[in-house]
Amino acid sequence: MAVPEPLVLVPGLNCTAALYAPQWPALASGRPILVAETSSDETIGAIAERLLAAAPERFALCGLSMGGYVAFEVMRRAPERVTRLALLDTSAKPATPETNQPREQMIALAEKGAFDNVTTLLWQKLVAPARLADEPLRLVVRQMAEDVGAAGFVRQQRAIMGRVDSRPGLSAITVPSLVIVGAEDEITPPVEAKAIASGIGASARYLEIPGCGHLSTLEAPEIATKALLDWLD
């Protein structure tokens, strides 16, 4: 029996491996998993290079939000090493002065010692409205932010603010691809995910999860797990 291909998981902004905790038991069944380090570098390119240096020669790649930006960069630098691609709640668009302005404001808050305020502000946009009062989920999100820390958060924001346009490269992606988005994702809404799936073309499967915001792996864990298992099989 063949050993399942290794899987590299890339967390989003202010997130850690805990972002994928609900999926871990199913995904790790007989399969090596690596979680990319995303809080040590100030560019998406450097994060991608760190990932490639640590990853096996060939691997499946899954990224959520900022993790998707990193995944696109990996596909630009070493497409021959990626066997399949999952893009969750992300966008292929580049950063712009308009999108970077609120990020600058959050960086300023973090650098002046108000990182708690940043995590509180982000929570309002991260999940579907119906989940805002979900205290266990909020505590998971808060713990991930504390583990990343203010300095790591600032580095991640700088990286995101320098990201390039990934749309021109979508048609070059030919590996089996999964594009997941929460129907109520305010940060990278379904229109962004549909554009990614359409740009990739026939090798992409699109899944929109009702009642779900930006953190699909945590808000809709069973649906996300099943979709990822189907993608890996």
What string of DSSP letters covers the chain?
A: -PPPPPEEEE--TT--GGGGTTTHHHHTTT--EEEPP-SS-SSHHHHHHHHHHHS-SSEEEEEETHHHHHHHHHHHH-GGGEEEEEEES---PPP-HHHHHHHHHHHHHHHTT-HHHHHHHHHHHHS-GGGTT-HHHHHHHHHHHHHHHHHHHHHHHHHHHT----GGGGGG--S-EEEEEETT-SSS-HHHHHHHHHHH-TTEEEEEETT--S-HHHHSHHHHHHHHHHHH-
**Looking at the predicted structure, is the pLDDT value of residue 209 above 70?**
yes
Instruction: Report percent pLDDT > 70 for the chain.
Output: 100
Is 20's pLDDT higher than 80?
A: yes
Q: Which residues have C-beta within 8 Å of that of residue 61, sequence separation ≥ 6?
A: 7, 8, 10, 71, 74, 75, 82, 84, 85, 86
The residue-averaged pLDDT of 69-88 equals: 98
pLDDT at 224 over 80: yes
Average pLDDT, the chain: 97
What pLDDT, on the 0 to 100 scale, is given for residue 222?
Answer: 98
Q: Is-contact 73 48, C-beta < 8 A?
A: yes
In the prediction, which pLDDT does 1 show?
58
Q: Which amino acid, residue 211?
A: G
Residues 85-97 have a mean pLDDT of 98
Q: Environment class of residue 91 by beta-carbon count within 10 Å: exposed (0-12), middle (13-18) or buried (19+)? A: buried
Confidence of residue 4 (pLDDT cuts 50, 70, 90): confident
Digit-coded pLDDT (tens) for 181-192:
999 999 999 999
Residue 164 has a pLDDT of 97
**Half-sphere exposure of 7 toward its Cβ, with a 13 Å CA cutoff?**
25
The two most distant CA atoms of the chain are separated, in Å, by: 55
d(CA 179, CA 62): 10
pLDDT average, residue stretch 116-129: 95
What is the model's pTM?
Answer: 0.97
Distance CA 86, CA 19 (A): 15
Q: Specify the pLDDT at position 3.
A: 76
d(CA 198, CA 159): 26
Residue 34 pLDDT: 98
